[in-house]
Amino acid sequence: MAQNIYDDPEFFDNYARLPRSQQGLDAAGEWPAIRALLPEMDGLDVVDLGCGYGWFCRWAAEAGAASVLGLDVSTKMLERAAADTDDARVEYRREDLDEVELAARSFDLVYSSLTLHYLVDVSRLFVVIAQALREGGRMVCSVEHPLYTAPSRPAFFQHDGRIVWPLDEYSLEGERITNWLAEGVVKQHRTVATYVNALADAGLAMTRMVEWAPTRADVDAHPDWAIEVHRPPFLLLAAQLS
């Protein structure tokens, strides 16, 4: 079972102060790259795994989805999502994604943003996703990049006048504990190969992989993102039922 850190009051309050929490998808630097991986929403049945405040759920409905199901382990997140949503096509439900079951052949699109790196057993979830997708169905997800999750001390430092991101323990998969927004946040490190092979083993054919980092234009618009060019913070994966 994944840690339910988002129901921790300190974490939840600090998370609420993040730009993407206050401004939604437009404040997420990787959103344009994710949007490019998504199919047109018209008439689709969609599930969002780790829906948080429901930003994507509402966007999908506004873009024409027939139905959107948002799942999250956090009661606080789901309460906020429900309060901000006024659309009968959108439903929210509490689920632990390490244990979730989805009805067979019930969705055209499975979406997940920055959630899967919290899960203990992503291979199991990919099998559940494959069984839930209809013929030609797609999955689009983002995770913290394995270069980001690997280090034993994940923080930039100065070396010989240069900004350096440390990289150790990349091949040692498993639990990582960080102090991000609150102390003792548990994440799961996996290599890129583990994500890709788990998709293939589940019967999902990868159609695109993006190692997202800000472009020069992004940095011009958001100077505080400049440090992110030294290593990709996010890995985006798109796959289709094979």
Average pLDDT over the chain reads 93
Q: Taking residues 199-207, report their average pLDDT.
A: 97
State percent of the chain over pLDDT 70: 99
Q: Taking residues 27-50, report their average pLDDT.
A: 97
Q: Taking residues 93-102, report their average pLDDT.
A: 96
Q: CA dihedral in degrees (98, 103, 107, 113; nearest 10)?
A: -10
Predicted local distance difference test score (pLDDT) of residue 16: 78
Predicted local distance difference test score (pLDDT) of residue 120: 94
Predicted local distance difference test score (pLDDT) of residue 3: 67
pTM summary value? 0.94
Condensed to tens digits (0 to 9), the pLDDT of residues 5-36 reads 777 888 778 787 888 888 889 989 999 999 99
pLDDT band at 1 (very low <50, low <70, confident <90, very high): low
Task: Tell me the C-alpha distance between 11 and 179, whole Å.
Answer: 10
181 or 150: which leads in pLDDT:
150
Q: Taking residues 52-72, report their average pLDDT.
A: 97
Buried-exposed string 192-201: b where 16+ CB fall within 10 A, e elsewhere = beebbebbee
Task: Tell me the C-alpha distance between 41 and 173, whole Å.
Answer: 35
pLDDT band at 106 (very low <50, low <70, confident <90, very high): very high
Task: Tell me the C-alpha distance between 6 and 184, whole Å.
Answer: 12
Predicted local distance difference test score (pLDDT) of residue 30: 96
Q: Which domains does the chain possess?
A: 5-147+189-241 (3.40.50.150)
